[in-house]
């Protein structure tokens, strides 16, 4: 046990001082007022004196606390030996914690490595499960810009329907791929009878800006007259653009065909009802697939009563694959049933447009392949479209060639 005197100016200050020095454990044995001398022993003043007792343990604890050796939460008495042990234990705990942390990190790292290895194995297995001949066909389809969906479906069929012996035979597989594409294409080859088979046929050509709509209208008009012996009239809703008006006027004049400029559906309906021609071809304003508002506006002009027009989408073979999807989607508000692939002479691949047509079930009506009117246009056919597929083994093309 240790005893101490605590002296302060007030009773409260004395208690505070005790608490500060020994914490809550000190016990007040007695308190009294004492007279103490001021500076130079001249002035005497009253002060409060507390006699407090502190156990040695408490004293030591508070002493250590003051020195910052043990945490304030420590309640037990700690001898110097125990202190050393405590420090040792503390050190061990720390190193244990560290080693647990290190071990955990190591374990996690090893597990991650295992998982990564498994993923790699799976990927290898998957890709190795695709025969190199299948991979080659996949690359050819990609090169022809067929869509991912088209390619995935083709690969699925190859894997599920073909025996390994066919897959192993490279040329056999190329032949299968040729037949597969041909089968799909034959489903979307349109017949231009659609614009001739009724009493009064109306065809409306829509499509993005500058794809060749007006030129194509002129080509179809000339061929309808020359080859199909049909009488033709032209209508345009693109009359306010001076250049566009002039462009179609020249063709109409040259082909001696009537040309109507329409601004509303009433204008178009009137032109159709007054016409006694077999075929009425309607040219429209090029619209960006991104300008959905303008597309809706144009749709309202093309909403015709008592007429069942064939809506045909003109799309350039040079269109980027990602734009093809958007064009097919946004022009679908017109319920177009047919497609004309323009500018085939400017592009090597038509896989993107063919994929979209297959997916959306649209028929390819014509392909245009140059600026000359009326020559540079061909009716769509399986052969014409298959001739655009590149990269299969040359023997397959020889096998399918027509002499």
Ligand X SMILES: Nc1nc2c(ncn2[C@@H]2O[C@H](COP(=O)(O)OP(=O)(O)OP(=O)(O)O)[C@@H](O)[C@H]2O)c(=O)[nH]1
Selection from ligand X, Mg ion, none that 138 binds (CB < 5 to 8 A by kind) is none
What is the torsion angle, in degrees rounded to the nearest 10, for the CA atoms of residue 58, residue 64, residue 65 and residue 71? -100
- In the list 56, 99, 210, 390, the residue contacting ligand X (rule: CB under 6 A) is 210
Selection from ligand X, Mg ion, none that 212 binds (CB < 5 to 8 A by kind) is ligand X
Interaction of residue 220 with ligand X, rule CB under 6 A: no
Tally DSSP H helices, then E strands, for the chain.
15, 11
Interaction of residue 330 with Mg ion, rule CB under 5 A: no
223 backbone dihedrals φ, ψ, rounded to 5°: -70, -30
User: Residue 98 class from Cβ within 10 Å (0-12 exposed, 13-18 middle, 19+ buried)?
Assistant: exposed
Beta carbon nearer to ligand X, 347 or 363: 347
Interaction of residue 363 with Mg ion, rule CB under 5 A: no
Beta carbon of residue 168, minimum distance to ligand X (angstroms, whole number): 42
Tell me how many residues contact ligand X (CB under 6 A).
19
Per CB under 5 A, which region of 136-144, 165-173, 210-218, 371-379 contacts Mg ion? 210-218
- DSSP letter assigned to residue 195: G
Contacting residues for 323 by C-beta, under 8 A, at least 6 apart: 289
User: Residue 51 class from Cβ within 10 Å (0-12 exposed, 13-18 middle, 19+ buried)?
Assistant: middle
Place of tokens 């046929």: 201
CB 292 within 8 A of CB 327: no
Beta carbon of residue 243, minimum distance to Mg ion (angstroms, whole number): 9
- In the list 144, 214, 216, 224, the residue contacting Mg ion (rule: CB under 5 A) is 214
Beta carbon of residue 261, minimum distance to Mg ion (angstroms, whole number): 13
Kindly report the CA angle at 364 between 363 and 365, in degrees rounded to 5? 105
Looking at residues 237 to 276 of the shown chain, list those that interact with ligand X (rule: CB under 6 A): 238, 244
Selection from Mg ion, ligand X, none that 371 binds (CB < 5 to 8 A by kind) is ligand X
Per CB under 6 A, which region of 110-118, 164-172, 211-219, 320-328 contacts ligand X? 211-219
Looking at residues 329 to 368 of the shown chain, list those that interact with ligand X (rule: CB under 6 A): 342-343, 345-346, 368
Interaction of residue 374 with ligand X, rule CB under 6 A: no
Interaction of residue 203 with ligand X, rule CB under 6 A: no
Task: Compute the distance between CA of residue 153 and CA of residue 146 in angstroms, rounded to an integer.
Answer: 11
Beta carbon nearer to Mg ion, 3 or 246: 246
Interaction of residue 342 with Mg ion, rule CB under 5 A: no
Beta carbon of residue 369, minimum distance to ligand X (angstroms, whole number): 5
- Read off the tokens for 331: 């022009």
Beta carbon nearer to Mg ion, 50 or 257: 257
Beta carbon of residue 295, minimum distance to ligand X (angstroms, whole number): 13
Interaction of residue 355 with Mg ion, rule CB under 5 A: no
Interaction of residue 222 with ligand X, rule CB under 6 A: no
Beta carbon of residue 307, minimum distance to Mg ion (angstroms, whole number): 22
Handedness of CA 281, 284, 288, 291 (dihedral sign): negative
* Secondary element (H or E) of residue 279: strand 279-283
Beta carbon nearer to ligand X, 47 or 288: 288
Residue nearest to ligand X (CB): 286
Task: Compute the distance between CA of residue 270 and CA of residue 262 in angstroms, rounded to an integer.
Answer: 9
Handedness of CA 273, 277, 278, 282 (dihedral sign): negative
Task: Compute the distance between CA of residue 352 and CA of residue 77 in angstroms, rounded to an integer.
Answer: 84
Beta carbon nearer to ligand X, 109 or 240: 240
List strands edge to edge, sheet with 363-368: 258-261, 232-236, 279-283, 201-206, 310-316, 338-342, 363-368, 377-379
Residues that bind ligand X (CB under 6 A): 209-215, 238, 244, 286, 342-343, 345-346, 368-371, 376
Residues that bind Mg ion (CB under 5 A): 213-214
């Amino acid at each position: 046990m240790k005893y101490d005197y605590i002296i302060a100016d007030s009773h409260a200050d004395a208690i505070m001082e005790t608490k500060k020095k020994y914490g809550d454990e000190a016990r007040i044995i007695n308190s009294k007022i004492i007279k103490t001398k001021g500076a130079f022993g001249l002035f005497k003043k009253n002060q409060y004196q507390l006699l407090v007792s502190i156990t040695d343990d408490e004293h030591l604890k508070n002493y250590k606390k003051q020195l910052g050796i043990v945490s304030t939460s420590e309640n037990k008495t700690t001898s110097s030996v125990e202190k050393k042990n405590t420090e040792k234990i503390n050190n061990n705990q720390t190193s244990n914690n560290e080693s647990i942390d290190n071990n955990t990190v190591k374990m996690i790292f090893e597990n991650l490595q295992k998982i990564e290895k498994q993923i790699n194995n799976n990927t290898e297995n998957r890709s190795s499960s695709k025969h190199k001949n299948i991979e080659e066909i996949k690359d050819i389809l990609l090169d022809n810009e067929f869509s991912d969906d088209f390619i995935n479906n083709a690969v699925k069929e190859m894997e599920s329907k073909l025996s390994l012996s066919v897959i192993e035979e490279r040329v056999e597989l190329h032949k299968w791929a040729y037949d597969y594409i041909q089968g799909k294409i034959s489903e979307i080859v349109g017949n231009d009878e659609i614009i001739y088979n009724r009493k009064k046929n109306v065809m409306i050509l829509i499509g993005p800006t500058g794809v060749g709509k007006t030129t194509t209208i002129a080509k179809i008009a000339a061929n309808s007259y020359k080859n199909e012996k049909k009488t033709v009239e032209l209508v345009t809703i693109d009359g306010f653009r001076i250049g566009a008006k002039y462009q179609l006027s020249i063709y109409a004049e040259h082909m001696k065909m009537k040309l109507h400029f329409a601004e509303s559906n009433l204008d178009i309906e009137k032109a159709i009802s007054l016409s006694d021609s077999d075929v009425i071809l309607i040219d429209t304003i090029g619209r960006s697939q991104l300008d959905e508002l303008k597309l809706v506006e144009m749709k309202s002009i093309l909403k015709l009563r008592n007429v069942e027009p064939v809506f045909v989408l003109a799309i350039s073979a040079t269109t980027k694959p990602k734009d093809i999807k958007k064009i097919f989607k946004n022009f679908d508000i017109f319920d177009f049933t047919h497609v004309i692939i323009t500018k085939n002479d400017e592009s090597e691949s038509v896989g993107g447009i063919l994929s979209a047509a297959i997916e959306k079930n649209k028929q390819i009506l014509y392909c245009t392949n140059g600026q000359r009117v009326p020559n540079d246009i061909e009716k769509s056919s399986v052969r014409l479209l298959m001739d655009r597929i590149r990269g299969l083994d040359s023997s397959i093309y020889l096998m399918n060639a027509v002499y």
